[in-house]
């Protein structure tokens, strides 16, 4: 029996096979995400992995259905596995925003799902760190969120030589489009052309832009100028005050593909350009209003950081630790007459907070010791009599004999 | 736009409404589950929330389909959202068991899904702590797993006056069935009748048992005897050595509904009998073989503990903490000329591991202080000049003035 294509099994390390995920590395990443979000005062939330299909089509249009895990449930509801978190967040905020002081600073670590056809080997699920700041229009909010993004990546040991935040603005592009007398009906089409600029050929780009009334030259000149808008300058100054200015560069290539972004947009990339985007986000000041059917109107911005590219980058930079069972003490039971007090010691040390292992069944001394070594345990402990325990530190090789009730005091 | 019936949104506390879940309480529970499992040497794993439908029908028969979220994906695969974790675990173990020393001790915290019709208000998802021990037939394994169950509940502050483990044995019932000359073809039917004994009327029970060739009297006499089998006695002795004997009572009412259990079975209940089972589990020595198509044969046992009943119980016993934003320091910015050094202080304290909040935009002093109080922050810090910071402990009301680079040293 096989798992579904595009899904990962997560095993404890050391991993059995290169095609499965590491549950330890996943938890390591989640822990860092949570810890950094909390230092920034962000609170955790979550929604259901299943939502009404409408929640996603309202925001992104019917064309998104082709990329969704969607189906009809036994109650004849059209439902989908969430492909992104923002619509759920907007729904939740719209339902209960009055309970929360603004700005709302929330994060989540959802598993997200996309069913894309004909992409063998590509994942159909990933986990994503989502952080959002709702209820504040000032660029200070954008700076706070981008600072969180930078410090999240730094918490893994990544430095300014490892990654860069490319900062841009839909507003800047909107002004450019208006000044060039673009047809408002084709504005989003223009954004999509900009979004694909670095991936398409110059001929394709020229053709698309010309059809929209723009020249590739004019677009490239605007991008090269890289002149920050007043809004972007305010964000840069704020980050400079924090000492984070060097992590960010203005880059108008970035515009983000999704329709709902309204202002600042940004993406995090590895400095060498070897990987896809590590994270991306921006302002979506109209989405809460749209999702709530006009009942609640709150400005918002957020970013998403997936676990897959981050994992690849951390591996490539040697920043992913090796994980083991983290056993503190292995209790050796060499005399079965001493199993009962040994079990009591196992219990006492676990109650004191130590991770403790032992052989469930009678086994030869050397086999037990070998197992302790495989588990990379720090200590072994063995009853010498029914009152005294020999404690051995396998790292320092120090040994000591302690009273049976006094073992925890000798485990450093 | 509403969420789907039977699903929970998880909000930060204080909660806006009684019908939504608490993300904080959920994380509190997950943290305790993880910490206790690790003290016992259990390693974390996870599988996909979606699996081939076959994985569940192989184990539980076609009748389970009526209770599943199942559908056909765009690749025409019959798939289902996992209703339990054990088949995924068996699949994963069967695929890579050679990589792991036995016994394998693994845990997971999956979200599980069931679509049951006509049960308004009943949840269709829950989270479940799953712990399994694979590759050991000795009752010492059963004792180790039951000890983990007991200590998991104790980690929340529950005591032996709050809960009891009802211990039973399919083997004991199998012997009873054989001694009573039951027809082997109806053995599982008999187990299901025993499983429903406490919930059905005496008349129903009598009728069902008579049809299977047994009297209700004989069954009740066997249950009342409560005599532990040798296997159960071995488990009880093992738990007694750990000082955990008083948490367990032999109770042959317990037999567990699922078809795949083979030996020891057990359930955890609140001592007052106010709630449904807190947890349940047992041996399933044939399941890995079944799921692997006969390729891998490993004895196993495990338990599952859901988050819903546990939450209800912890609330009822006053053991659920109130959660807040856990902000350590609120930086007051009363002079906008000092915003830049204030942002630097925010950054430095966060880098030092503190959770720090501040007003993103200019705000009146009293409004900022009120916000700090609402957030239940421990400290406020405010630049007195561009070099000195006044630190105030809102709990002790102590104040101190420190150099701008020295603030972290005064935060206890």
Q: What does the block give as tokens for B355? A: 């959770």
Average pLDDT over residues B99-104: 96
CA B120/CA A381 separation, integer angstroms:
55
Q: Omega of the bond prior to A14 within 30 degrees of 0, cis?
A: yes
Q: What's the pLDDT tens digit per position in B168-211?
A: 999 999 999 999 999 999 998 999 999 999 999 999 999 999 99
For chain A, give the percent of residues with pLDDT over 90.
Answer: 89
Asked if A12's CB is within 8 angstroms of B243's CB, the reply is no
Q: Collect all residues with Cβ–Cβ distance below 8 Å to B186 and sequence separation of at least 6.
A: B212
- Model confidence pLDDT, tens digit, residues B292-328: 889 999 999 999 999 999 999 999 999 999 999 999 9
What's the total number of domains in chain B? Answer: 2
Given this model, what pLDDT does residue A243 score? 98
Percentages helix, strand, coil for chain B (3-state, rounded to 5) are 40, 20, 40
pLDDT in tens, B259-277: 789 999 999 999 999 999 9
Q: What is the DSSP letter of A73?
A: -
A373 and A266 fall within a common domain: no
Judged by DSSP in three states, A66 sits in helix
Cβ partners under 8 Å of residue B323, min gap 6: B12, B13, B22, B24, B25, B28
- A333 and A371 belong to one structural domain: yes
Cβ–Cβ of A4/B51 closer than 8 Å? yes
Q: What separation in angstroms does the CA of A159 have from each of A129, A266, B306? A: 19, 18, 41
d(CA A233, CA A223): 16
The residue of chain B nearest to residue A22, with distances taken between CA atoms, is B45
Number of Cβ atoms within 10 Å of the Cβ of A220: 16
- Here the tokens at position B295 are 């390729």
- Is position B305 within any domain? yes
SS3 content of chain A, % helix, strand, coil (to 5): 40, 20, 40
Same structural domain, B366 and B311: no
Q: Is residue B75 part of a domain?
A: yes
DSSP per position, A316-363: HTT-SPP------EEEE--SGGGHHHHHHHHHHHHHTT--EEE-SS--
Whether residues A111 and A202 share a domain: the answer is yes
Residues B116, B122 contacting (CB under 8 angstroms):
yes
Check CB contact under 8 Å for A39 and B350: yes
User: Which chain A residues are Cβ-neighbours of B370 within 8 angstroms?
Assistant: none
Q: What does DSSP say about strands B279-283 and B300-306: parallel, antiparallel, or unpaired?
A: antiparallel
φ/ψ of A365, rounded to 5, equals -50, -50
Interface of B with A in 117-176 (CB under 8 A): 117, 125, 136, 138, 140-141, 144, 147, 151
Indicate whether A258 pLDDT > 80. no
Paired tokens of B312: 């209800």
Closest CA of chain B from A182, distance in Å: 35
**Interchain contact, A11 vs B96, CB within 8 Å:** yes
B19: closest chain A residue by CA: A96
Lowest mean pLDDT among A63-67, A131-135, B280-284: A63-67
| Nearest-by-Cβ selection for A48 from B125, B343, B361 | B125
pLDDT reported for residue B65? 79
Q: What is the mean pLDDT of chain B?
A: 94
Secondary structure (DSSP) of B281-345: EEE-TTHHHHHTTTS----EEEEEEEHHHHHHHHHHTT-SPP------EEEE--SGGGHHHHHHH
Q: φ and ψ at A119, to 5 degrees?
A: -130, 65
Q: From A278, A302, A298, A265, select the one nearest A45 (Cα to Cα).
A: A302
DSSP single-letter state for residue B317: T
Q: Can you read off the two tokens belonging to residue B316? A: 């009822």
**Nearest C-alpha in B relative to A54:** B1
* CA-angle at A286, arms to A284 and A289, nearest 5°: 130
At which of A286, A316, A346 does a domain end? A316
Residues A239 and A263 placed together within one structural domain of the fold: yes
List A residues 312-331 in contact with B (Cβ-Cβ < 8 A).
Answer: 325-327
Asked if residue A253 belongs to a domain, the reply is yes
Q: How far is CA B352 from CA A321, B332, B335, B344, B404, in A?
A: 22, 19, 25, 12, 14
Q: Do B4 and A99 touch (CB under 8 A)?
A: no
- β-pairing, A10-11 with A21-22? parallel
Chain B nearest-CA residue for A68: B74
User: What pairing do the DSSP bridges indicate for beta strands B78-81 and B50-52?
Assistant: antiparallel
Write down the ipTM of this complex.
Answer: 0.96
pLDDT of residue A49: 97
Nearest Cβ partner for A241 among B48, B77, B340: B340
Substitution target in B2, B4, B123 with the highest count of A β-carbons within 10 Å is B4
Among candidate residues A261, A295, A316, the one where a domain is terminated:
A316
Considering the domain boundaries, does residue A1 fall inside one?
A: no
User: H-helix or E-strand containing B87?
Assistant: helix B86-96
Interface A:B, Cβ pairs < 8 A: 238
Vertex B372 angle, CA A305 and B407, to 5°: 80
In a domain, residue B3? The reply is no
**Three-class secondary structure of residue B184 per DSSP:** helix
Contact A70, A79 (CB under 8 A): yes
Testing the interface with B: which of A94, A338, A350, A369 to mutate, by most B Cβ within 10 A?
A350
Query: Is residue A342 predicted with pLDDT exceeding 90?
Result: yes
Quick check: A377 and A330 in contact, CB under 8 A? yes
| B49: nearest CB among A15, A43, A49 | A49
DSSP 8-state assignment for residue A152 = H
Q: Give the number of residues written for chain B.
A: 412
| Nearest CB partner across the interface for A23, out of B44, B99, B244 | B44
pLDDT average, residue stretch B150-176: 97
Q: At CA B282, angle to CA B276 and CA B286, rounded to 5?
A: 135
Residue finishing a domain among B294, B316, B338? B316
Distance from CA of A185 to the nearest CA of B (A): 28
Answer whether residue B118 shows pLDDT above 60: no
Q: What is the mean pLDDT of residues A257-283?
A: 93
- What angle is formed at CA B341 by the lines to CA B335 and CA B346, rounded to 5 degrees? 105
B364 with B242, same domain: the answer is no
| CA angle A401–A403–A409, rounded 5-degree value | 85
Q: Residues 371..410 of A with a Cβ closer than 8 Å to B: which?
A: 371, 374-375
Judged against a pLDDT cut of 70, whether residue B121 lies above it is answered with no
Q: Which residue has the tokens 């001592």?
A: B271
CA distance A296 to A314: 40
Work out the pLDDT band at B258, boundaries 50, 70, 90: confident
Tell me the nearest-neighbour CA distance from B182 into chain A, angstroms.
35
Task: Decide if B354 touches A, using CB distance below 8 A.
Answer: yes
- How far does A6 lie from chain B, in Å, by closest CA? 10
Q: Are residues B189 and B281 in the same domain?
A: yes
In tens, the pLDDT along A371-396 reads 999 999 999 999 999 899 999 999 99
Q: Nearest by CB to B241, which of A3, A238, A344? A: A344
Query: By CA distance, what is B67's nearest residue in A?
Result: A74
- A321 in any annotated domain: no
Q: Quick one: A253 and A364 in the same domain?
A: no
A8 touches chain B (CB under 8 A): yes
Residue B354 CA to residue B411 CA, distance in Å, equals 9
DSSP A114-138: ---TT-TT--SEEEEEEEEEES--S
Give the best residue of B20, B43, B336 to mutate against chain A (max A CB count within 10 A). Answer: B43
Tell me: pLDDT of B17 over 80. Answer: yes
Tell me the whole-structure pTM to 2 decimals: 0.96
Q: What's the average model confidence in pLDDT over A359-372?
A: 97
Q: Which residues of B touch A336 (CB under 8 A)?
A: none
Q: Are residues B276 and B396 in the same domain?
A: no
Return the pLDDT at B130.
98
Q: What is the pLDDT of residue A19?
A: 83
The whole domain housing B262 covers: 10-316
Cα–Cα distance for residue pair B337/A201, rounded to 1 Å = 49
Position B195 scores a pLDDT of: 93
| C-alpha angle B147-B149-B151 in degrees, rounded to nearest 5 | 65
Rounded Cα distance, A85 and A258, in Å: 13
**Contact flag B241-A1 (C-beta cutoff 8 Å):** no
Q: Which residue of B has its CA nearest to A341?
A: B241
Go through A250-262 and write b for each residue having 16 or more CB atoms within 10 A of its CB, e for each that does not. bbbebbbebebbb
Other C-beta atoms within 10 Å of A243: how many? 14
Q: Token match 């974390």: residue?
A: B44
Residue B270 to residue B305: CA distance in whole angstroms: 13
Residues of B in contact with A92 (CB under 8 A): 9, 11
Cross-chain residue pair A10–B72, CB shorter than 8 Å: no
Is the distance from CB of B44 to CB of B36 less than 8 angstroms?
no
Question: Are B195 and B301 part of one and the same domain?
Answer: yes
Nearest CA among A131, A137, A144, A132 for reference residue A171: A137
A79 at the B interface (CB within 8 A)? yes
Do the Cβ atoms of A136 and B243 come within 8 Å? no
Beta strands in A61-162 (DSSP E): 70-72, 78-81, 104-108, 111-113, 125-134
Same domain? For B285 and B347 the reply is no
Best CA proximity match to B289, nearest among B136, B91, B106, B65? B91
CATH of the domain at A399: 3.40.50.800
* Per-residue tokens: B367: 């409004």
* B354: closest CA of chain A, how far (Å): 6
Whether residue B322 is contained in a domain is answered as no
Regarding whether B219 and B113 lie in a shared domain, the answer is yes
* Alpha-carbon span A196 to A174, nearest angstrom: 17
**Token duo for residue B354:** 């503190």
- State the CB neighbour count (10 A cutoff) for residue B395: 10
Residue A324 falls inside a structural domain: no
Subunit contact A361:B51, Cβ cutoff 8 A: no
Nearest by CB: B344 against A39, A138, A241: A241
Chain B residues in contact with A29 by the CB 8 A cut-off are none
pLDDT digits (tens, 9 = 90+) for B225-235: 999 999 999 99
Q: Using DSSP bridges, classify how beta strands A300-306 and B10-11 pair: parallel, antiparallel or unpaired.
A: unpaired
Residue A192 tokens read as 């999509």
* Nearest residue, CB atoms, B360 vs list A44, A140, A292: A140
CATH number at residue A154: 3.30.930.10
For CA atoms B142, B148, B151, B152, the dihedral sign is: negative
Nearest to B16 among A99, A355, A356 (CB): A99
Q: What is the pLDDT of residues A67-105, one digit of tens each?
A: 899 999 888 999 999 999 999 999 999 999 999 999 999
Across the interface, whether the CB atoms of A4 and B326 are under 8 A apart is answered no
pLDDT 10s digits, A193-235: 999 999 999 999 999 999 999 999 999 999 999 999 999 999 9
Are the C-beta atoms of residues B42 and B148 closer than 8 Å to each other? Answer: yes
Write out residues 178-197 of B within 8 Å (CB-CB) of A.
none
> Residue B43: closest CA among chain A residues belongs to which residue?
A12
- Is A41 close to B327, i.e. CB distance below 8 A? yes
What average pLDDT does range B238-250 have in this prediction? 98
Q: What is the pLDDT of residue A1?
A: 75
Triad B274, B275, B278: Cα angle to 5°: 135
Q: Is the Cβ pair B343, A242 closer than 8 Å?
A: yes
- A129, β-bridge pairs: A305
- CA B101/CA A374 separation, integer angstroms: 9
Residues on chain A touching B29 (C-beta within 8 angstroms): none
As a whole-number percent, the residues of chain B with pLDDT over 70 amount to 98
Which residues in A lie closer than 8 A to residue B238 (C-beta atoms)? Answer: 343
Closest Cα to residue B130, out of B96, B86, B92, B180?
B86
**DSSP letter assigned to residue A17:** -
How close B379 comes to chain A (CA, Å)?
Answer: 14
How far apart are the C-alpha atoms of B363 and B350, rounded to whole Å? 22
């Amino acid at each position: 029996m096989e798992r579904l294509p595009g899904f990962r099994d997560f095993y404890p390390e050391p991993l059995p096979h290169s095609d499965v995920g590491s549950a330890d590395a996943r938890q390591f990443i989640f822990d860092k995400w949570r810890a950094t979000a909390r230092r920034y005062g962000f609170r955790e939330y979550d929604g259901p992995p299943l939502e009404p299909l409408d929640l996603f089509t309202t925001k992104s249009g019917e064309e998104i259905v082709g990329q969704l895990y969607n189906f009809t449930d036994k109650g004849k509801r059209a439902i989908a596995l969430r492909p992104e978190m923002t619509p759920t967040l907007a729904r939740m905020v719209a339902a209960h925003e009055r309970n929360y002081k603004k700005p709302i600073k929330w994060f989540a670590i959802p598993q997200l799902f996309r069913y894309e056809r004909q992409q063998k080997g590509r994942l159909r699920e990933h986990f994503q760190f989502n952080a959002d700041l709702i209820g504040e229009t000032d660029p200070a909010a954008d700076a706070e969120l981008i600072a969180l993004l930078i410090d999240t990546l730094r918490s893994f040991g990544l430095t300014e030589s490892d990654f860069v935040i490319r900062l841009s603005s839909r507003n800047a592009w909107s002004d450019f489009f208006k000044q060039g007398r673009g047809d408002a009906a084709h504005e989003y089409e223009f954004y999509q052309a900009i979004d694909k600029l670095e991936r398409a050929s110059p001929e394709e780009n020229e053709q698309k832009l010309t059809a929209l009334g723009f020249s590739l030259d004019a677009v490239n000149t605007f991008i090269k100028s890289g002149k920050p808008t007043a809004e972007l300058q305010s964000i840069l100054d704020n980050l400079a005050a924090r000492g984070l200015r060097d992590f960010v560069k203005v880059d108008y290539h970035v515009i983000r593909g999704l329709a709902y972004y309204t202002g600042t947009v940004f993406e995090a990339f590895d400095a060498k350009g070897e990987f896809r985007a590590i994270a991306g986000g921006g302002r979506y000041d109209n989405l809460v209003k749209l999702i709530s059917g006009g009942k609640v109107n709150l400005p918002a911005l957020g970013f998403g950081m997936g676990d897959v590219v981050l994992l690849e980058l951390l591996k490539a930079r040697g920043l992913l630790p090796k994980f083991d069972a983290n056993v503190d003490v292995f209790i050796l039971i060499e005399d079965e007459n001493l199993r009962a007090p040994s079990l009591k010691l196992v219990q006492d040390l676990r109650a004191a907070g130590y991770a403790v292992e032992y052989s469930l069944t009678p086994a030869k001394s050397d086999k037990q010791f070998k197992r302790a070594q495989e588990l990379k345990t720090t200590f072994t402990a063995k009853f010498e009599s029914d009152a005294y325990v020999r404690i051995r530190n396998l790292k320092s090789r120090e040994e000591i004999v302690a009273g049976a009730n006094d073992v925890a005091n000798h485990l450093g």
